[in-house]
Chain A
Amino acid sequence: MSQTLTKNQEKALKRFADSMDGRVRAHLNSCVHCGLCAESCHYYLATGDERYMPANKVDQLARIFKRYHTVAGRLIPKWIGAHDLNDESIQEMVDIIFGGCTMCGRCSMHCSIGVDIPFLVRTARSMLVELGLVSPGLQSTVDAAIQKGNNMGIPREELVDTLQWLDEDLKMEVNDKNASIPLDAKGKRILYTLNPREPKFFPLSISAMAKIYYAAKESYTISTTCYDVTNYAYYSGDDEAAAELTERLFKEVEKLKAEILVLAECGHGSRAIRWEGPHWIKKRYPYQVITVIELIADYIKTGRIKLDPAKNQAPITLHDPCNLVRSGGVLEEQRFVLKRACTNFIEMTPNRLDNYCCGGGGGQLSMGEYRDRRVAAGKIKADQIRETGAKIVATPCHNCIDQIMELNKEYELGIEIKTVAEIVADALVLDT
C-alpha cells in the first residue's frame, strides 16, 4: 500500500482493527446498498439529502474496512468502493458520522438485511477519537464529566445547596418535617442518579422524584460526588473515558452499599450505564440497575404509590427516547405509568420501536456547529407532536426535553414538556 499515513491516521486504523470482532465484521460485510433504509431516517426525511441515507453512514466505515481489510479492496478498490483513509474521506466521515446521525437505531430495526447501523456509527466515532476530531462541544462535555465529576461542571457546593433547598421545599409541600432528600447515606436500598441538567436548570424534576420516593416510603440516597447519569463518551466514541465514568459510578454504588442503582430519566445514560457499562469496565454489576420509569411502574403495580389521574386533565402525549426504547427495551412501562397518571393519554404515530428520533440524541445538542441541521431534522418529530393535539409532551429523557423545547419554539407547537416523574408527582395521592 503506497499511501502515507499520519501517526494519528495509523492510530485510528489500529483502533478500528482492534475493534474488529465478529459483530463489526458481520455488519460491515452485509450492506447491499438497496437504499430502502433512507425513509427510516429522520435526517433524510426532513432534508431529502441523500448523504444522510443510513447506507451512506455505513459506507463511511465500510469503505475503509474494504480498503484495509479485504483483498479486493487492496487490489481493485474502485470496483468495490474501497477508499483510503485520507483528509477527504475523514472530512466526509466527520460531517456524516457526527453531524448527520443521532444513532437512534430506527434504520437498523427496518434494515432489509439487519445491519446494526448505530453500532457501526459509534465504531466510526471511535476512530475519529483517535484522530482528535470529536466535535469540540461534545468533547468538552466529556472533559467536564471526567475533570469535574459531572458533564455541566457543577461544583459540589452548588449541588448540595440546590438539594438542600429542594429538601426544605419537599418538607413544606408534603407538610412533613421528617420528609427529606437523603444525601450520601450508606446502606440505602436505592442510589438514585441525576442528570446534571436537573440541578442546573430543572430542579422541579428532582422535586417530583423526591415526592414520589416520599410517597413510596423508599429507602434511597443521592450521592453528591458521583451522581451523573449521563455518559457522553458513549456518543463521542471514547471507550476509555466511558469506562472511567462507569467505573466511578460503580465504585460509588459499592461505597454507599446500595442494592439498586436507579437511573434518572435519561435515554443515553440509561443505555450507557445499564447496557454498555459492564463491557467498558469488563465486569458484571453485583447490584441491580433499573431505570426510574421501571421503578415508578413497579410502585404503581405494587400499590406503593396511589395516583389520581383527574389531577392531570390536559391531553398528554409521549415521546419515546430512542436509547430507552429501541436500545433499552423499556417500551410499555412509561405507557403503563402515564395512563394511570392522566385522564387523556394520546399516542403519537408511529410510536414505540417505530417512533422517530426527536433529533436531540447522538450528542447533537452539544455540537453547536450542526444546530440548524438538528432543528431541521426535528421537523418530523414536531409534525408528529402537532398531529396528536396534545398540550403536554412527556418524555423520560433530558436530551429529548431540550430538543423538544427548541422544536416547540421553532415550530410554534404551543406545548409544555415534562418528565414522566413530574406528571406522576402531580397525580400523587399522599396518605394523610
Chain B
Amino acid sequence: MDFHAWFLICGFAVFLLSSLFHLFTIIRRANTDDLTAAKGSIPVGIAYSMTLAMSPLKKETAYLHLPTYTAGILYHLGSFLALAWLIPLFFEIPIPSLIHIISSGWLFISGVCGVGILIKRFFNSKLRMLSTPDDYFSNFLVTGFLIISAVTLLNQEFLPILFIYSGILFLYMPVGKLRHIIYFFIARFYLGLFYGKRGVWPPPKRQRS
C-alpha cells in the first residue's frame, strides 16, 4: 500500500480511537438517572430534539439568518458527502462517472459555502470577538477538504493529495472544535432528554379557547 493510503489509515485510526475515548468518557459519567416525576416523554423529546427542533421553522438561529443557515447546511452536508466518498475512493469501488460529476458539483458548492462562512468570520465583529485561531483553521481545513475532494472526483491524479489531506483532517479533528462532529449528537441527546422529561419538547398542543 502507498504511503498516502497508510497516512490516511493512521489519521483515521487516531480519529477513531480519540472519538471512542470521548464517547467512553461521556458514557462513563452519563448521569442520565433522573429522580423527578416526568411531565413528558424522554424518547419523544430526544426524537424531537434530533429532528423538528432543528427545523428552520422552529429555530430562530435558522429563520433569522437564512443565508448563513443555508450555507451551513450545505457546508455540513458536503462535509459528510466528502467523508463518505473516501470509502469508495480508498477501496477502489467503481462508481458511475455521472455520480462523480454530480458529487463534485455539490462539493464545489459546499466549498464555496465554506469560503463564505470563513469570510463572514473574518469580517463580522461578533464572530471575530468569539473566534480563536482554531475556529479559522478548522473552517479553512474543512473547506480545503471539500475543494480537494471535488477536484479529485473529476481527476483521480489528485488522490494522493486527498488522502494525505484527509489524514491531516482526521488527525486534527479531536484537537479543536471539529470534535463537535461527535459532541453535536450527544448535546442534542441531552437537550432532548431535558426538555422531553419536562414536557417542553415537543411543545404541547395548543388548546382551543
B-binding residues in A (CB < 8 A):
20-23, 25-27, 29-40, 50, 53, 55-56, 59, 72, 78-81, 108-116, 119, 274-275, 278-279, 282-285, 288-289, 325-329, 331-332, 335-336, 339, 345, 352-354
Q: Which 6 A-B pairs have the closest CB atoms?
A: A329-B199, A81-B132, A278-B35, A36-B61, A21-B31, A110-B60
A53: which B residues are within 8 A, CB to CB?
Answer: 126, 129-130
A-B contact pairs, 5 of them (CB 8 A): A30-B184, A36-B69, A78-B132, A116-B191, A328-B39
Q: Are B126 and A110 in contact (CB under 8 A)?
A: no
Shortest distance from the beta carbon of A15 to any chain B beta carbon, whole Å: 15
**What is the chain A residue whose CB lies nearest that of B191?**
A114
Q: Are B209 and A339 in contact (CB under 8 A)?
A: yes
Q: Are B180 and A113 in contact (CB under 8 A)?
A: yes
**What is the chain A residue whose CB lies nearest that of B125?**
A50
Docked complex Cα distance between A331 and B199 (Å): 9
Docked complex Cα distance between A218 and B39 (Å): 24
Q: Which of A26, A34, A115, A339 contacts B72 (CB 8 A)?
A: A34
A115: which B residues are within 8 A, CB to CB?
Answer: 187
Q: Are B203 and A331 in contact (CB under 8 A)?
A: yes
Docked complex Cα distance between A274 and B35 (Å): 10
Which residues of B in the span 31-84 have a Cβ within 8 Å of any Cβ on A?
31-32, 34-37, 39-40, 49, 53-54, 59-62, 64-65, 68-69, 72
A327: which B residues are within 8 A, CB to CB?
Answer: 198, 200
Could you list 7 further interchain pairs (A-B, Cβ under 8 angstroms) beyond the known A56-B129, A80-B134, A282-B35? A23-B30, A26-B183, A26-B190, A112-B59, A112-B62, A112-B69, A116-B191
Known A-B contacts A328-B198, A329-B40; A353 and B203 likewise in contact (beta carbons under 8 Å):
yes
Q: Are A278 and B188 in contact (CB under 8 A)?
A: no
Docked complex Cα distance between A81 and B131 (Å): 8
Q: Are B49 and A114 in contact (CB under 8 A)?
A: yes
B40: which A residues are within 8 A, CB to CB?
Answer: 329
Known A-B contacts A53-B126, A79-B134; A25 and B36 likewise in contact (beta carbons under 8 Å):
no
Q: Are B179 and A29 in contact (CB under 8 A)?
A: yes
Q: Are B183 and A72 in contact (CB under 8 A)?
A: no
A108: which B residues are within 8 A, CB to CB?
Answer: 191
Shortest distance from the beta carbon of B206 to any chain A beta carbon, whole Å: 6
Docked complex Cα distance between A353 and B203 (Å): 8
Q: Are A80 and B31 in contact (CB under 8 A)?
A: no
Q: Are A39 and B200 in contact (CB under 8 A)?
A: no
A50: which B residues are within 8 A, CB to CB?
Answer: 125-126, 129
Q: Are A72 and B37 in contact (CB under 8 A)?
A: no
Q: Are B183 and A112 in contact (CB under 8 A)?
A: no
**What is the chain A residue whose CB lies nearest that of B193?**
A23
Q: Which of A23, A113, A284 contacts B35 (CB 8 A)?
A: A284
